[in-house]
A and B are shown apart, each in its own frame.
Chain A
């Protein structure tokens, strides 16, 4: 079934067959999962989509599902652009993803336990010590501390992409304060409102059970001696760009949304200030960074945190989720060791692919790198925030020679990875009033508690709205799609 051209809404769809298109295969045939929806969407004209798109935007805006952008001292409310064409993931494909992200979360948790206790993985020379000791996120205050339930990364967000080979690769494990899960649910609601008819033809896994699982997970890591724990979510406040999400999660899981100033510590227990006096708090889902949680222990100038909170935590009287110090494991450099980390702790082969990493310090790798530089991304191991990255296919001949020199001079400092190409998905584009190919990724959400693991069946498909752009972050003008995981 070839839909291209003959299909009214896809008449001007430019299919670049060098890229992996989620809807069309290399021969421009519609992939089986998408046949029905394409048929259904064909009943609409492109103008219908333009109208629905406008309505969806207005609805997000009216509901206040927005984030703040600050420019010229003025705060502006923006919506996170939402696309009307869902991304569909087959049951079997999803099963692999789900198993894979749980495997990673568990391995990372064991890794964190190890680096804050015996450090066996370092002593055995599997992960270099420098990655820990030079990491700004390694909190020595956490050494030899046992977090309740033995869990560090209660909430993880794993960023995946589908490469041109059609396989999923993990790009990043986010285990500090991963955000975006509320958009998964909002996107589902918005699509239901806009195009309810299509839902009758697919059996789709629900995404509304996230909050109840979140609460169950938080309760599972309560401090010792507490029967029915009081859980709260701590937010930096209404001006934080993820404030909507904090409200949403607190509301739907039925826990209190607090700010630092609502809490205080007395005799190493944490209390919140209520209209009926102080009430003890047992589990804190914190959406503020490590260094801001307690001005007594970390950044003195933090007004977001609670003085004495860290002492209460270390005394075992309150649980923090995620645990402080998880950041050490979501480092770029640690990522490259994920296959080894999984193997070491779980004695399993990694289910999800890591992007292969060549270490310049390895002579064989170095040889390969020097010969294939045009197809590689060269990254310094110790720089963050995208500094010092060279993308091979965008370099001139002279620049390539220069990079080669730099690597040869200091091979320990660099790694190289193949240039990954994100899959593309038909996306409604405002400016051209048509569907076009855009790059997408997928963020999944995993919860890890005591004897509990949960992966939200669905995820945030982020779209790079600018043509050819690979950066999907919302701060860079990215949008998102409803993501359907089909039932078996």
Chain B
């Protein structure tokens, strides 16, 4: 069974002073992978600008917009159509011997292979006081540990918008125990990596028909690599495994690799960005 998704991404940028030249890079296009197929994508802007499809440094698809005429306000709209397969998150063969897996993640080969996603970044750094905040139980399988971590993060933090931003560090999040999906995901990544499990931060869209947290905004979750199984998606904001409601755009070490919008603006003064997302499907 497949779901026929329509995703609308809208953003409005206002600038205090006229902008003479600007570049934007949108990383909002869903990727093609085993469970999702992008059927069409469409970009529009309110100003006369060139729109090009390109890639970012990690080979995810982007839309780059270059505008050379002065403006103070610009609207963007993107519309994507996508086929998403029904997914069973538990569709894998459980490991028979946990110790083999734990031995494997200790091996140099494994560490080198997954170096990028084992690395601590500024946004996924556990400082000295928090470094043992959550340790894995070696009697359980890696999957079981990650699933428990998913739940722990979900319980540990409560969802609240406007209290953190994209630069908020884990120390503050752990102390205040609130945040949004980025913060849940960063905390999950940090702890999993601390326990030697490669994890990647994922940005995407969430279909929220069933009352999940995620708002009408972009969503973020995590993929963790489990030996002999592969990358498995966890959504710590909702204490779920990733399913057909999750539409992936890109992944990276943390938010900074996946920022949906980057801009180079030749102007002075303040600017304000608002955006909204609409996700709907027909079965």
Q: Do chains A and B touch in the complex (CB under 8 A)?
A: yes
Chain A residue at minimal CB-CB distance from B266: A303
A-side residues, CB < 8 A to B, are 119, 122-123, 125, 129, 132-133, 139-141, 143, 264, 266-268, 295-297, 300, 307-308, 310-311, 314-315
Residue in contact with B64 in the complex, picked from A129, A143, A296, CB distance below 8 Å: A296
Please state if A119 and B64 are interface contacts (CB–CB under 8 Å). no
From known contacts A296-B64, A307-B264, A308-B64, infer whether A123 and B52 are also in contact, taking CB-CB under 8 Å.
no
B59 contacts chain A at the CB level, 8 A cutoff: yes
Chain B residue at minimal CB-CB distance from A268: B54
Please state if A129 and B112 are interface contacts (CB–CB under 8 Å). yes
User: Which of chain B's residues 54-89 have a Cβ closer than 8 Å to chain A?
Assistant: 54-59, 62, 64, 66
Please state if B55 and A311 are interface contacts (CB–CB under 8 Å). yes
Please state if A140 and B116 are interface contacts (CB–CB under 8 Å). yes
Residue in contact with A300 in the complex, picked from B58, B116, B264, CB distance below 8 Å: B264
> What chain B residues lie within 8 Å of A311 (beta carbons)?
54-57, 62, 64
From known contacts A119-B112, A122-B112, infer whether A297 and B57 are also in contact, taking CB-CB under 8 Å.
yes
A193 CB to closest chain B CB (Å) equals 46
B56 CB to closest chain A CB (Å) equals 7
- Report the separation of the CA atoms of residues A123 and B262 in the bound assembly, to the nearest whole angstrom: 36
B196 contacts chain A at the CB level, 8 A cutoff: no
| Tally of chain B residues near chain A (CB < 8 A) | 25
- Report the separation of the CA atoms of residues A264 and B109 in the bound assembly, to the nearest whole angstrom: 41
Please state if A314 and B57 are interface contacts (CB–CB under 8 Å). yes
From known contacts A296-B64, A307-B23, infer whether A123 and B109 are also in contact, taking CB-CB under 8 Å.
yes
Please state if A308 and B58 are interface contacts (CB–CB under 8 Å). no
Chain A residue at minimal CB-CB distance from B111: A129
A-B contact pairs, 25 of them (CB 8 A): A119-B113, A122-B108, A123-B112, A129-B112, A132-B115, A133-B118, A139-B57, A141-B57, A143-B116, A267-B52, A268-B52, A268-B54, A296-B23, A296-B25, A296-B264, A297-B56, A307-B64, A307-B264, A308-B54, A308-B64, A310-B57, A311-B56, A311-B57, A314-B57, A314-B59
> What chain B residues lie within 8 Å of A310 (beta carbons)?
57
Please state if B264 and A295 are interface contacts (CB–CB under 8 Å). yes
- Report the separation of the CA atoms of residues A295 and B57 in the bound assembly, to the nearest whole angstrom: 12
B-side residues, CB < 8 A to A, are 23, 25, 50, 52, 54-59, 62, 64, 66, 108-109, 111-113, 115-116, 118-119, 253, 262, 264
Given contacts A141-B58, A267-B52, A311-B57, 9 further A-B contacts (CB under 8 A): A141-B57, A264-B66, A266-B50, A296-B64, A296-B262, A311-B55, A311-B64, A314-B57, A315-B54
B225 CB to closest chain A CB (Å) equals 16
> What chain A residues lie within 8 Å of B58 (beta carbons)?
140-141
Chain B residue at minimal CB-CB distance from A141: B57
- Report the separation of the CA atoms of residues A384 and B99 in the bound assembly, to the nearest whole angstrom: 40
Chain B residue at minimal CB-CB distance from A119: B112
Chain B residue at minimal CB-CB distance from A314: B55
A78 CB to closest chain B CB (Å) equals 33
Nearest 6 pairs of A and B residues by beta carbon: A141-B57, A307-B23, A311-B54, A295-B264, A297-B57, A296-B25
B201 CB to closest chain A CB (Å) equals 13
B141 CB to closest chain A CB (Å) equals 26
With a 10 A CB-CB cut-off, give which of B57, B64, B109, B116 has the most chain A CB atoms: B57
- Report the separation of the CA atoms of residues A139 and B257 in the bound assembly, to the nearest whole angstrom: 12
> What chain A residues lie within 8 Å of B118 (beta carbons)?
133
> What chain B residues lie within 8 Å of A123 (beta carbons)?
108-109, 112
> What chain A residues lie within 8 Å of B54 (beta carbons)?
268, 308, 311, 315
> What chain B residues lie within 8 Å of A266 (beta carbons)?
50, 52
- Report the separation of the CA atoms of residues A308 and B264 in the bound assembly, to the nearest whole angstrom: 11
A135 CB to closest chain B CB (Å) equals 11
A337 CB to closest chain B CB (Å) equals 16
Residue in contact with A133 in the complex, picked from B52, B62, B115, CB distance below 8 Å: B115
- Report the separation of the CA atoms of residues A129 and B64 in the bound assembly, to the nearest whole angstrom: 35
> What chain A residues lie within 8 Å of B262 (beta carbons)?
296, 300
- Report the separation of the CA atoms of residues A296 and B54 in the bound assembly, to the nearest whole angstrom: 12
> What chain B residues lie within 8 Å of A125 (beta carbons)?
108
> What chain A residues lie within 8 Å of B116 (beta carbons)?
140, 143
- Report the separation of the CA atoms of residues A307 and B264 in the bound assembly, to the nearest whole angstrom: 8
